[in-house]
Structure 1
Amino acid sequence: MGELTLSEMRERTKFQFGNNDEFDSVGSSATNFYNLWINTAYRQLTTYDYFWGKRRAFRFPQLDTSTTAATVDGTAYISVPSGTLVIQHVYDTTNDYYLTNIPYSEYVKYSDRSDTTAEGEPSYWTRSGTYVYLYPTPDDAYTMRVYYRAVPDDLSTDASTTTIGKEWDDIIVQLAVYTGKKYTGEFEAAKVLRGDIDDMISSMVSIYGQEEKSRVAYLHLDPMYRERGY
């Protein structure tokens, strides 16, 4: 989890606006725009697949989670977990196997999906709206574990910290300042700041990929070819 609290992030953001009190309470809703910019930055950072055109996907291990849901005999779907950004896998814990994802366009072609005589153990899943549809339609109660990437909650209290690691705290602050500069029409300052943030993100975006170094499932040259001088 993060180290800086919302209060501390706000102080650092506000400092870069000359400790301007004008944005502490804006409009009839008395919105604190420093908090707004921080949460906007946090949400964008954690929900974008590619950030500012970078062709390397973001991954935050802290946002990977799972929950279980029970199927109902004759009901073709289970609910998407609250706060889901992307469903990654669906696993039938009752029968001990992963379901295969299919496009929704393929799912709707199964004319027997509403046929109670064609029910069975689900083998496929697809997401549509707030539901995960299963095929075949379950014929019994099965426990499904849904693995998904979550959208983190906004920082709502002064003591709130982010769900992601503290290594992203300063990037969130700078993104908040960047957002604020755009809000206030300081586009040149925002442009300069964007370059700095771009460098910071570039050095962090694939850091968790280093865990892959411990994998053993890499291709190796067969000793037979080595011995023959290949």
Structure 2
Amino acid sequence: MMNGQNTDLATMVTGLGCASIVDAMGRTHQHRTHQHRAHLLGLVSPSPQRPMFGPAVTIAYLPYRDDFTDSNAAGFAGWFYRAVGDAPAGLVLVLSSGGYPDASHGGGTKMSRLHNHGLAGLLCDGRLRDFDELARYRFATWCIGEATRAGVDTVTPCAANIPVEVRGVCITPGDYIYADRAGAVVIPAQSVREVLAEAHRVESEDAAFLPHIRDEDPVALREGRRTSSER
């Protein structure tokens, strides 16, 4: 079960879409010269109708090395429990690619731990196996695609709860992750309420423009006579 804060935030995110949250991130985290990239594209899911939302914990992957004896000994199970700690319910587990986004990072058997411990979701910057099995679990899964061959000889988990890069976006432990059919967005924990409130304003503004668009004058627009109310 989610704690009180996450339940409250889950209520705030209800009815929102990824695009509106991305727009809200752009408004909230503006900078004159630097881009705070927050959106991720190219994700697929075994259950794409199921959105995902929750605070992130991370496992960083690297290319497999035989001499990483301590890291290899822990395996996915060890790194999973190091990442989720004593309060796993409602978390989103984020796995970096290790430089091989086409390698499998696991499948239905390994990832059953997320189901057993009540996590909200899995965001993997790599491939996963057993989509049919993953679709039956309670958590939402988003990744790069489905795989058939195991990837344990290609990438290996090496660290838990450190900042990771996923498809050009920095994700730090505690960031909130939202994903739906459109893509995913990463929201800093300190501004998540502000961003979600702004996303609702974005949705309201879009809804308010619909009658203006319905009643717009095609002739005026073709002649370049635009008004400030147009979008």
TM-score (norm 2): 0.28
> Which protein is bigger by CA-based radius of gyration?
1
TM-score (norm 1): 0.28
